[in-house]
Structure 1
Amino acid sequence: MAGVHIGDEQTFNESALVAPVNLISHATVRGAVARLQDDHGIADADTAFRALLTVSQRYDVKLRHLSAAVSTTDAATRTTSGPAPALSFSLRGRGDAPKRSDVLADLLTTAVDLFSAPAGAVQLRDAKHGGLCIESHAGLTEQFRHHFSYLEDEGSAAAYATAHCEVVRVDDVAVSPLYSFIDMEVLAQCGVRAELAVPMCDEDGRNWGAVTVMFDSRRPRVDPFAVEMLHGHADSCAQWLRWYDQAVMPRLVDAVHEVAAASVEEAAGTAVSA
């Protein structure tokens, strides 16, 4: 358990026990709940939260992602969008309501397979707070997922790749200036010795995040052709994410408002009956 010593007593840093991504998730959900309460005149925060949770579970979309969309989507800011762009690595991006998690999982599987790597992650910019969140992962320990769950600056290969929209190769994480001493300790304990981070940039040049493959040995052999292939797949995914946020998320936001409005009507009917 994380803690610090002051004299002969030990005090515990409770925030260290909570993954950073959970802290920003709670803030995002609270913002969406407040928005729903204001828009629909809902006095009970639990009722607004249930509207979010219902749609999140119905369409298998992360509550954090849905909440960010509810907080930021207005009818006046919506744009029309055509059919889903084809993905170079997956066939699961089409349909009426494709699952974002499926597409990210397919990108990660493709990345790990290209380099025969033991671990990897897809990290995307949070729509509300701007930092990088781990959205899909394979072969990573709980300690790694906790420590790197949300990154606000360039303190990792993935964060640097995202900020500069360039491929970042780290042959030895133990001596990389990208990482702090604490980061290096976590990487060492998790068996990560080297990394390759590839940015995800759409056709407008927006940096969505990065896909990272991780190696259990220093200075791994990396096929340049595989890097180019992954770069193409990552950009393909970024273009699809852009389409998803324009075409799919507004419909999910509408669904949240419909559930919230129905809850208000149901409560009003119950009050009249009583």
Structure 2
Amino acid sequence: MTDTFDAGALEADGTLAELARLREQVRHLQARARNRPLIAEAQGILRERYRLEDAEAAFALMQLSSQRFNVRVRTLAEAVVRLERPDERADRWFPGRVRHPAPALDALGIGDAAHAHRGAVLSTVLSQTLAVAGTDMGNVQLGDHATGGLWMEKHTGLGDDFVTYFDFVGPDGTSCAQAAKDMAQVTVRDVATAPVFSEGARRTILHAGSRSCHSVPLVTGDRCLGMVSAHFDRPIDELHPAQLQTLEYTGRQVGRWLEWYDRTVVLDALEYLHLAARHPGMTRARRR
């Protein structure tokens, strides 16, 4: 007698759900591993700068500010490493900083752009892009200041292998990298034959069930801050001019908002971190 594979039995006894949970746990551990060196560097800077007792105290400072302003710890760590150190004798990290109003997000139907959470903005731009393009597969990436590449932030309709492979995208080998370089929308009519992809990227995309894709850069001025891509289960022709115009408008509006977020919300979080470090009563961070 020959045994046969019964997917229904796996689902019935919860095996598929457990596999999904384990995959999500692996992705979480991978994200922690990739963020650890950056966060450790920021911890070292903060320990030296504010004479903190240990790395735990430095992390507590970032975590406190992260929670207060709803900004990722990794985002704060990257800013601590990248930006010029403050005058430790002053309560302001950025004295004389001019605050600007938040750019509109009417393309996403978000009225209060000044209080919008970055994660919600990215989720909404993904869903809006897929609605305009007419598909249910896609992803959003954000630019990395240090490497110039793109990190995966949001995705839907794409498998685990796709998400793992494209967790980070460098400057070559994909249509989204090309769109970021050109700061222009890129349509791939057929993934199987498009020369823009490396062979590894091509195999992974086809395995995910995508035969074509369209990438929209999130831009402001001469900078690309991120990318939103729609994937299709069949080869496509060029999108309609009205679709392209709508996506262009959305990409530029979200790009301007992301720039404002970096220059306002993230800097507000750093100001708070600096103030809390100078006045230990505001935080549990310990000093030597």
TM-score, scaled to structure 2: 0.78
Which of 180, 184, 188 aligns to 1:162? It is 180
Q: Deviations over 1:213-268 (max 9, x none)?
A: 11111225732211210111000011111111111111111223344452787645
Q: Which residue identity is paired with 1:60?
A: N
1:207 equivalent in structure 2? 224
CA distance in 1, matches of 2:158, 2:276: 37
Q: Is 2:63 the counterpart of 1:46?
A: no
1:122 aligns with one of 108, 131, 140? 140
Amino acid at match of 2:100: G
**For the aligned residues, what is the CA RMSD?**
2.6
Query: 1:9 matched to which residue of 2?
Result: none
Tell me the amino acid that sits aligned with residue 211 of structure 2: R
Aligned to 1:173: 191
Secondary structure at the counterpart of residue 229 of structure 2? strand
For structure 1, the residue ranges without an aligned partner over 5 or more in a row are 1-16
Aligned residue in 1 for 2:43: 33
- Tell me how far apart the structure 2 counterparts of residues 233 and 39 of structure 1 sit (CA, whole Å): 41
Residue aligning to 1:233: 250
1:59 has 2:59 as partner: no
The counterpart of 1:242, out of the listed 235, 242, 259, is 259
| 1:72/1:66 CA distance change after superposition, 3 Å | same
TM-score between the two structures when normalised by the length of structure 1: 0.82
- Kept in 2: contact 1:200–1:207 (CA 8 A): yes
Q: Residue 94 of structure 1 corresponds to which residue in structure 2? A: 113
1:254 is aligned to 2:271: yes
Alpha-carbon contact 2:189-2:238 (below 8 Å) kept: no
Q: State whether residues 92 and 103 of structure 1, in contact with CA within 8 Å, keep that contact through their aligned partners in structure 2.
A: no
Cα distance in 2, alignment partners of residues 76 and 230 from structure 1: 35
Segments of 5+ residues of structure 2 without an aligned counterpart are 1-25, 85-92
Write the letter of the residue equivalent to 2:74.
Answer: R
Q: Report the 3-state secondary structure (helix = DSSP H, G, I; strand = E; otherwise coil) of the residue aligned with 1:196.
A: strand
Q: Identity over the aligned pairs, expressed in percent?
A: 26
Task: Specify the alignment match of 2:203 in structure 1.
Answer: 185
Q: Once the 2 structures are TM-superposed, how far is the Cα of residue 114 of structure 1 from its aligned partner? A: 0.7
Could you say if the C-alpha distance between residues 34 and 233 of structure 1 is closer, same or farther in structure 2, counting changes exceeding 3 Å? same
| One-letter identity of the residue aligned with 2:226 | G
SS class of match (2:61): helix
CA shift for structure 1 position 54:
3.0
Contact 2:69 2:265 in 1 (8 A): no
Report deviation, 1:160. Answer: 0.6
Whether the 8 Å contact between 1:162 and 1:199 is mirrored in structure 2 is yes
C-alpha distance 92-154 of structure 1, shift in aligned 2 (>3 A): farther
1:196–1:156 CA distance, 2 compared to 1 (3 A): same
**What is the CA–CA distance in structure 1 between the aligned matches of 2:111 and 2:169, rounded to whole Å?**
28
Aligned residues of 1:121 and 1:135 also touching (Cα < 8 A)? yes
Q: Which residue of 2 aligns with 1:8?
A: none
Q: What SS does the corresponding residue of 1:54 show, helix, strand or coil?
A: helix
- Deviations along 1:86-107, one digit per CA (max 9) or x if unpaired, are 1122315524x53111111111
- Distance in 2 between residues matched to 1:267 and 1:143, nearest whole Å: 43
User: Do residues 68 (structure 1) and 86 (structure 2) align?
Assistant: no
Q: Is the 8 A contact 2:191 2:202 kept in 1?
A: yes
